[in-house]
């Protein structure tokens, strides 16, 4: 196995670990918000979609103005995206595909950061 393929697998696994950390951070955010909300306004852990995520971020910001979880989530998402794009580049995918994934992921990351501001 070439060094670049082995390196790509290591980077891909690290990016997956960071993706798992993103999910855990999101669940931690839901737990913290739910602890301060009445039972009828609480968030369910499953079934996420854009308006629900917007409501979670706004509620978290209002309850925890200096809370670190949204920042941590954005950083983990960025590092995970960089890891994934680096891994597919090392695997030897064509530049157009790497650029497409990088730009698409960057756009989604930008939307996530704008949403959390």
Q: Find out whether 97 and 88 touch, Cβ atoms under 8 Å.
A: yes
Q: What is the DSSP letter of 48?
A: -
pLDDT digits (tens, 9 = 90+) for 48-85: 888 888 899 899 999 998 889 988 998 998 999 999 99
Tell me if the pTM is above 0.85.
no
Q: How many CA atoms, within 13 angstroms, populate the side-chain half-sphere of residue 98?
A: 14
Query: Is residue 30 within 8 Å of residue 56, measured between CB atoms?
Result: yes
> For 41, which DSSP code?
G
Give the mean pLDDT of the chain: 90
């Amino acid at each position: 196995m070439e060094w670049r393929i082995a390196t790509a697998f290591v980077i891909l696994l690290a990016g997956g670990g960071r993706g798992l950390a993103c999910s855990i951070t999101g669940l931690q955010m839901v737990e913290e918000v739910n602890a301060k909300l009445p039972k009828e306004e609480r968030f369910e852990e499953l079934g996420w979609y854009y308006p629900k995520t917007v409501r979670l971020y706004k509620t978290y910001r209002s309850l925890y103005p200096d809370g670190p979880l949204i920042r941590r989530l954005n950083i983990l998402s960025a590092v995970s995206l960089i890891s994934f794009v680096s891994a597919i580049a090392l695997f030897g995918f064509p530049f157009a595909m790497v650029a497409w994934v990088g730009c698409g992921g960057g756009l989604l990351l930008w939307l996530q950061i704008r949403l959390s501001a």
